[in-house]
Structure 1
Amino acid sequence: MAEAEPDPLEVTLRASGLTVRPVPRLGRPSAGEIEELITRRRRPAILTGMIEDWPARTDWTPQKLIERHGGKTVTALMDLPADGVLMPDRQSAYERTLTFASFVETMLTTTTAKPCYLAYTRVADILPSADYDFATLLGRADDDTGDTRAWIGSAGTRSMFHSDLKDNLFCQIWGRKHVVLLPWEHSMAAYPFPDNLVNSQVDLAEVDLGRFPRLREAPLLAATMNPGDVLFMPRGCWHDIRSRSPSISINHWFGEPMGFADYAGLLTRLGPRYWSATLRDFFRYGVLGRPQRADFFFTPAPTGKRLYDLVRHGNFSKDNDPADR
C-alpha cells in the first residue's frame, strides 16, 4: 500500500520549523489497556478496530441518513468563514433551519470556501443512540458523567485550537479529519486568550512565530482520522480539528472536569496580563453580575467568572460542563 501523502497542515507546520510527531496508534487495545491509558498514561492515542461493530459505522452514510432521517428539521451553521481564529459574526448570523436531507446534500456539494456544520448537537436528538456504545467501549456502564455530541459537516469545517474540561473520546464515523494536539502541560505554547484559558490565539494554518515564539519548542502531535478511528484526548489536551472531506464524527466527554488548581498554575506562569483580566472579569461578570457575550456555542465563560463561581458556589466548572449545555 502506498504511503499516504502528508496532510497540508503538517507540511505547513514543518516548513515553519516546528516539530510534529504522529499520534501513537493502539490496535484493538484490551479493556485493561484502555483503562491504563485513561487512568494512568494520560496521553493522546488513536485506538483502531474498536468500533467496527457499531451500527453507526455502516448506517451513518449520507445516503442512509437521508433515507432514514432526512425529514427531520435541524439548525445548522451555513456559509462559515474558511479562515481566521475568530468568527467575524455571531453564531446567529450563520444559523439556518432546514431539513436534515437538505443539510446533508449541501454538506456534500459545498466548497471549502463556504463550509457548513451541524456541530455540538446531542446525538440522540437526530440519530439513534443504539448505533453507538461508549459505555461498553469504556467499561463504565454506570458512569453518568458523560455527554455525547455529533459533528456532521462539509470539507473545510474547523474546530480551532482549544482544550476541553473533560476526557474526550473522538470517533470518526465517515469521512476524514485531521488533528493537531498539544498536551496540557505545554499550555504556555498555546497562547490562550487573556480572558479565558481554553481557547488559543494561534491559527496553526498561519503560524506567526514572531508573535508566538514558544511554539518552536511545542511537542505537537498530529494524525489523520480515518473512518473507524477513535482518538483519546485527556482533559486539557489542546486540539485543532479540520475536516478534509465531508465528515461524520461523534465525541464523548466523560470523567471529572478540570478544577481551579489546574488553571491556577497556568495563570501563575502566564503573568500579570492574565491576572488582571481574571480579576477584571471576577468583578464584571461575577460580583456585578453583568451579562457575558457568548458569540458561539464554543465561547467559554471568562476565567474570572469561573473563579467567582468557585468562590460563590464552590464549583469552578459551573455551567461550563458540556453535559450542562
Structure 2
Amino acid sequence: MKYSTMALSGPLLLLAVLLGICQAKVNFPKDNRVDVEFPPKITYRKDGVISTGHLRPFGYQKKPTSRVREYREPLPPKNFWEDHVRHREPCVYRGAVTDSPAMTNWTDDYLNKEYGDLDVLVELKKEQRGSRNKRMKISKFLSHYGVEDWYVVTVLPDEMRHEIQVPKSLLCGTFKRFIQETNLWISSGGTASVIHYDADHNLHCLLAGKKNFIMIHPKFAKYLEMAEKPNFVGSGYSKLDVDMINMFQYPDVAKVQWTWATLNPGDCLYIPAGYLHQVRSHGRSVSATILFTSLPTFDDSDCSRDVINTYTGLDEVRVLWTYKKGDRVIEMGYMNPEALRDSFLTLLGESHQLNFEKFKYYFMDITKEDEDETNSRDIEYPMAEEAFKMFDHENKGYVTREEIVEMDVEYFKDFARILDLPSGPTADDMHDEL
C-alpha cells in the first residue's frame, strides 16, 4: 500500500523519511544509467565557433574524428597482426566472447556463491594514480559496492578463468605464447579512468553493462600534461582531471584528436600498447581483459582453421602472471618478463657474453640508481649481485646469449619481482577498507 507524505505527520512522517533513506541506500549510486549520451554533444556559440569545453569532462573540448574500426567477429590471428597489431591501430570486435559462460552466469548471487572466498584488489571509482589498492574478498566487495565508491581491478583468479572465452585472434602464434596477464573489472557504474597508456597490448572484453572509450594516438601526448615516469616503465598517464578540464590552464587539450568506441556485453576492444585512452563505465559492469605482447614479426606456424575456430577458455592458455586462492601476493602490473629478456639481448649488442659489470650499470639504470648520488660507478651493489646470480647459475661471471635466449621465463619473473613491489597488500597484511 502506498501513502502520500501529505497525509502523514509527526512520528509517521519521520518513519516514512527514514524508510525512504534506508531504501535509497540499497540502490546503486550516481551514474547507474546505461543510456549516457556518447560521444558527448558539442555545443556551438551563435557565431558558429565550437565551445571550449571549459570545466567540462574530457571529450567536450573537440569533436571526435571517427569511430574506432569495427568487425562483426574477431579477425584470424595473422590478419589481426597485419591489419592492427603491427600498426598499433585499435579495433572493436562485436560479439567476440558471447559464448563465455560468464555472460549469463556472473550475477552477483552466482559470483558470491561460487567465488566469494577469492581475494581481489579494489580501488576508488575515480582512478588516482599513485594510490595503493586494497585487498578484500569478493563477497565483501559484492555486499558493499552498491553504496561504496569501490571498483574491482584485479588479476582474474585462476578459478574463474574457465568461464571466459579467448577471442580467436589470440588462439595461436606469437600472441598465444605471450599472454602476460588477465584482469577482472567489476563496478556499479560511474567509474572514470585517467587518460593513460599501458605497456602491453590489451583486449578489453565486456561481459555486463556498458563502457565508453576515448582513444588517442600517442602523438597527441604532448598536449595532455603527461606525468614523468621512471626508466624502463612501459605505462604512463596524464595529470589532467578528466571530470573537469580547465581550458584556461590547459588550452592545448582542444588540439587532441580522438576516436571513440562503446562496448556492449560480448564486445571486445583492442587497445594497442602505448595507445592513450580514457574509459567510463555506466551501470553495473563486468569486464575481463587479456594483456599480451607481440614480437617484430608474427609466427603463425601453429595456426590452423581448426585451432582458431575451436572454443577455448582462458584456463586452456598459458598466462605468465596469475593468481589463485591462497596466493600471498596478487601479482598484477609487474614488468613484462619477455621484455626483460629482450632488454638483456639488446644490452649484449654484438657481444655474446653479458658480464656482471655491464649488468650492474644496467641494473643501476632500471632501478633509478644515480651515479651523481653515489659519486662513484665503482661502488658495489648487493642487490645487483643478487640479481645477477639468478641468471649466472654456474658463477662464471657472465651469461651467454644462448643462455639468455633459452632460459625459462620464471627467472625473468623473479627478476621482475625484485624490480617492483606488489600492486596491493599481501595476504599477511590484508586491508579491506578504502
Normalising TM by the smaller chain, what interval? 0.5 to 0.7
Partners of 1:115 and 1:157 within 8 A in 2: no
Partners of 1:54 and 1:132 within 8 A in 2: yes
- Structure 2 residue aligned with 1:132: 164
Partners of 1:42 and 1:234 within 8 A in 2: yes
Does 2:278 correspond to 1:240? yes
- Structure 1 residue aligned with 2:63: 19
- Structure 2 residue aligned with 1:276: none
- Structure 2 residue aligned with 1:273: none
Instruction: Say if 1:9 and 1:286 are closer, same or farther in 2 by CA, change over 3 A.
Output: farther
TM-superposed CA distance for 1:188, in Å, is 1.3
- Structure 2 residue aligned with 1:65: 111
Partners of 1:84 and 1:203 within 8 A in 2: no
5+ residue gaps, structure 1: 261-280, 291-312
Deviations 1:69-105 (A, max 9, x none): 22x1424436x3x658557xx426xx253x4223123
C-alpha distance in 2 between matches for 1:282 and 1:155: 41
TM-superposed CA distance for 1:195, in Å, is 4.0
Deviations 1:295-315 (A, max 9, x none): xxxxxxxxxxxxxxxxxx9xx
Secondary structure of the 2:368 match is helix
Does 2:318 correspond to 1:287? no
Partners of 2:155 and 2:184 within 8 A in 1: yes
C-alpha distance in 1 between matches for 2:278 and 2:213: 5
- Structure 1 residue aligned with 2:21: none
Out of 119, 131, 155, the residue aligned to residue 189 of structure 2 is: 155
TM-superposed CA distance for 1:199, in Å, is 1.2
TM-superposed CA distance for 1:47, in Å, is 0.7
Instruction: Say if 1:136 and 1:23 are closer, same or farther in 2 by CA, change over 3 A.
Output: closer
Does 2:178 correspond to 1:145? yes
TM-superposed CA distance for 1:192, in Å, is 0.9
Instruction: Say if 1:19 and 1:152 are closer, same or farther in 2 by CA, change over 3 A.
Output: same
Instruction: Say if 1:241 and 1:319 are closer, same or farther in 2 by CA, change over 3 A.
Output: farther
Could you tell me which amino acid in structure 2 is paired with residue 103 of structure 1? F
TM-superposed CA distance for 1:166, in Å, is 1.3
C-alpha distance in 2 between matches for 1:135 and 1:52: 10
C-alpha distance in 2 between matches for 1:85 and 1:214: 23
TM-superposed CA distance for 1:230, in Å, is 0.2
TM-superposed CA distance for 1:50, in Å, is 1.5
Could you tell me which amino acid in structure 1 is paired with residue 368 of structure 2? Y
C-alpha distance in 1 between matches for 2:60 and 2:185: 30
Partners of 2:206 and 2:263 within 8 A in 1: yes
C-alpha distance in 1 between matches for 2:211 and 2:217: 19
Task: Tell me the percent identity.
Answer: 20
Secondary structure of the 2:84 match is helix
* RMSD after superposition: 3.8
- Structure 2 residue aligned with 1:266: none
Instruction: Say if 1:223 and 1:205 are closer, same or farther in 2 by CA, change over 3 A.
Output: farther
Deviations 1:101-147 (A, max 9, x none): 2312322x22xxx42122132332xx422222437442326633212
C-alpha distance in 1 between matches for 2:213 and 2:67: 10
Out of 50, 69, 91, the residue aligned to residue 132 of structure 2 is: 91
Partners of 2:61 and 2:253 within 8 A in 1: no
Instruction: Say if 1:230 and 1:238 are closer, same or farther in 2 by CA, change over 3 A.
Output: same
Instruction: Say if 1:9 and 1:64 are closer, same or farther in 2 by CA, change over 3 A.
Output: farther
Does 2:37 correspond to 1:6? yes
The TM-score, its normalising length taken from structure 2, stands at 0.52
Higher percent of residues as strand: 1
Deviations 1:32-64 (A, max 9, x none): 543333334421111102111122222223232
Partners of 1:151 and 1:250 within 8 A in 2: yes
Could you tell me which amino acid in structure 1 is paired with residue 62 of structure 2? L
Instruction: Say if 1:84 and 1:118 are closer, same or farther in 2 by CA, change over 3 A.
Output: closer
Larger Rg: 2
Partners of 1:61 and 1:174 within 8 A in 2: no
Aligned length: 264
C-alpha distance in 2 between matches for 1:283 and 1:231: 32
Q: Which moved further from structure 2: 25-34 or 48-57?
A: 25-34
Instruction: Say if 1:134 and 1:42 are closer, same or farther in 2 by CA, change over 3 A.
Output: same
C-alpha distance in 2 between matches for 1:129 and 1:289: 48
Partners of 2:120 and 2:154 within 8 A in 1: no
C-alpha distance in 1 between matches for 2:229 and 2:96: 39
Instruction: Say if 1:46 and 1:188 are closer, same or farther in 2 by CA, change over 3 A.
Output: same
The TM-score, its normalising length taken from structure 1, stands at 0.67
Partners of 1:85 and 1:203 within 8 A in 2: no
TM-superposed CA distance for 1:228, in Å, is 0.9
Out of 220, 227, 230, the residue aligned to residue 193 of structure 1 is: 227
Deviations 1:240-272 (A, max 9, x none): 122212211111111147899xxxxxxxxxxxx
Instruction: Say if 1:9 and 1:85 are closer, same or farther in 2 by CA, change over 3 A.
Output: farther
TM-superposed CA distance for 1:319, in Å, is 3.9
TM-superposed CA distance for 1:185, in Å, is 2.6
- Structure 2 residue aligned with 1:34: 80
Instruction: Say if 1:14 and 1:246 are closer, same or farther in 2 by CA, change over 3 A.
Output: closer
- Structure 2 residue aligned with 1:298: none
Partners of 1:24 and 1:46 within 8 A in 2: yes
5+ residue gaps, structure 2: 1-34, 43-55, 295-335, 344-363, 374-398, 400-412, 424-434
